[in-house]
Amino acid sequence: MGSTANGNSGTWRNWGGTVRARPAREVAPASVDELAEAVRRAAEDGLRVKAVGTGHSFTSIAATDGVMIRPHLLTGIRGVDRDAMTVTVEAGTPLKRLNVALAREGLSLANMGDIMEQTVAGATSTGTHGTGRDSGSLAAQIRALELVTADGSVLTCSERGTDEERAVFAAARTGLGALGVVTAITFAVEPLFLLTAREEPMPLEKVLADFDELWAENEHFEFYWFPHTGSTTTKRNNRSAGPERPVPRLRGWFEDEFLSNGVFQVANWIGRAAPPAVPAIARISSRALSARSYTDIPYRVFTSPRRVRFVEMEYAVPREAVVDTLRELKAMVDRSDLRISFPVEVRTAPADDITLSTASGRDSAYIAVHMFRGTPYQRYFTAAERIFTAHEGRSHWGKVHTRDAEYFSRVYPRFGEFTALRDRLDPDRRFQNDYLRRVLGA
């Protein structure tokens, strides 16, 4: 294991500052064989194993006091198959690197989330998604998976394999790190295309009244509602014949960096220090960004820089329940003394066939609530979660929530299928941690 960085480690912290862990040792394998050996050695030493990506989960899904696998040496594209239109990529590859490499090859993913800092394995294992009428999450675009299981063996699965491999494929695409350590992912890709983005302010009441049409008429629709106001910013992304018309560099810097990150950061500092100022700040924020339209390659349209640190809760509700859920959320905020400086983000996804995907078996809408890092968030999130769960909401696996296995067994029809598979693949709970014990049961 010459190229593997082993050793005792210090304290690991996640991006949002909500989780810290002190693993007994850290391992950075440079090959699948080295990773398999690290899992076997952990078993001999009686230690649990967790792989950690870039720490963008707000939950303790990747935390461990055992062996922490760092995948930063397992990166890069293994191969592109232009006949099958797939790309196979090492698990530790950051989404940004994958997107840039695909664009160079004249290829693209069909859909992506709104940031690209995460590793491909971390993003898919927790159910990261963007917004789409017809195209689903990152995990829904997976065509094959390779993972190291609890006994150190390497398992490859796809929808074309044996019954067991198909069962693993259905579950492991959003596997929560509970079934093994993902080592490589094969994604469906398509020829590089252009998207035209149309961003514009719109009154919340109009968005809610017209939500079904806005969703139906656009390939990718999302909006941000600013609490303490009746205002939203909407974004519609649709495929375009071109020509490319990217955001001019100066305007892009002014709106995406200066306003959306720099000024917004200062506004949040003020709001944290003086909560009564938040509603006024929200009214100014909701008017800060003007309407704009631009055409560019997908990852430059789907993703944005997010430099202001925050804590987030997100729930998927049935798409037909989203308007009622948002009205209840707004009514709760309006009658409370809460002061919320971050917008609420609303996106959609079509139903998929992944066992524990938040869109498993139902067309879904996502409602994400955020608070500036360092601001007390528990009261807001608790009140929001009460509303989301009343609509059979499914929490994002990587974002703050308080639900447990008993709750998830009610809102996921295939929950028992996942836990039975886990019993077969990891009977000794080599990949267990406190978070998995809570959400999946012991």
Q: Tell me what pLDDT residue 253 has.
A: 57
Confidence of residue 15 (pLDDT cuts 50, 70, 90): confident
Residue type, 263: V
Query: In CATH terms, is domain 12-69 a member of 2.40.30.30?
Result: no
Contact present, 346 and 367 (Cβ < 8 Å): yes
264 burial type by CB count under 10 A (0-12 exposed, 13-18 middle, 19+ buried):
buried
- Kindly report, residue by residue over 188-215, the tens digit of the pLDDT: 999 999 999 999 999 999 999 999 999 9
- The full DSSP string for 201-254 is EEEHHHHHHTHHHHHHH-SEEEEEE-TTSSEEEEEEEEEE----BPPPHHHHII
Confidence of residue 263 (pLDDT cuts 50, 70, 90): low
Domain boundaries, the chain: 12-69, 77-191, 194-404
Confidence of residue 248 (pLDDT cuts 50, 70, 90): confident
Count of alpha carbons within 13 Å of 208, Cβ hemisphere only? Answer: 17
More confident residue, 72 or 5: 72
Q: Which helix (H) or strand (E) holds 286?
A: helix 278-288
Contact present, 195 and 240 (Cβ < 8 Å): yes
Cis peptide before 243 (omega within 30 of 0): yes
Are the folds of 12-69 and 194-404 the same? no
Contact present, 69 and 38 (Cβ < 8 Å): yes
Confidence of residue 254 (pLDDT cuts 50, 70, 90): low
pLDDT at 113 over 90: yes
Query: In CATH terms, is domain 77-191 a member of 3.60.21.10?
Result: no
Neighbouring C-beta atoms of residue 331, cutoff 10 Å: 11
Q: Tell me what pLDDT residue 2 has.
A: 36
Contact present, 369 and 384 (Cβ < 8 Å): yes
Confidence of residue 256 (pLDDT cuts 50, 70, 90): low
Cα angle 137, 70, 14; round to 5? 65
Chain mean position to CA 282: 26
Q: How far apart are CA 441 and CA 274, in angstroms?
A: 42
Contact present, 176 and 61 (Cβ < 8 Å): yes
Contact present, 148 and 32 (Cβ < 8 Å): yes
Q: Tell me what pLDDT residue 67 has.
A: 97
Residue type, 186: T
CATH topology (fold) of 194-404: Vanillyl-alcohol Oxidase; Chain A, domain 3 (3.40.462)
Q: Tell me what pLDDT residue 277 has.
A: 73
Q: Tell me what pLDDT residue 262 has.
A: 61
pLDDT at 298 over 70: yes
Closest CA to 147 of 194, 185, 118, 112: 185
If you search the block for the tokens 């990529």, which residue do you land on? Answer: 89
Q: Among 266-280, 313-327, 376-390, name the one with the lowest average pLDDT.
A: 266-280
* Mean pLDDT of the 5-17 span: 76
Do strands 67-69 and 49-51 pair parallel, antiparallel, or not at all (unpaired)?
Answer: parallel
Residue 36 neighbours by CB under 8 Å, 6+ apart:
148, 152, 153, 154
Q: Which helix (H) or strand (E) holds 301?
A: helix 298-302
- Kindly report, residue by residue over 332-389, the tens digit of the pLDDT: 999 999 999 889 999 999 999 999 999 999 999 999 999 988 889 999 999 999 999 9
Residue type, 212: D
386 burial type by CB count under 10 A (0-12 exposed, 13-18 middle, 19+ buried):
exposed
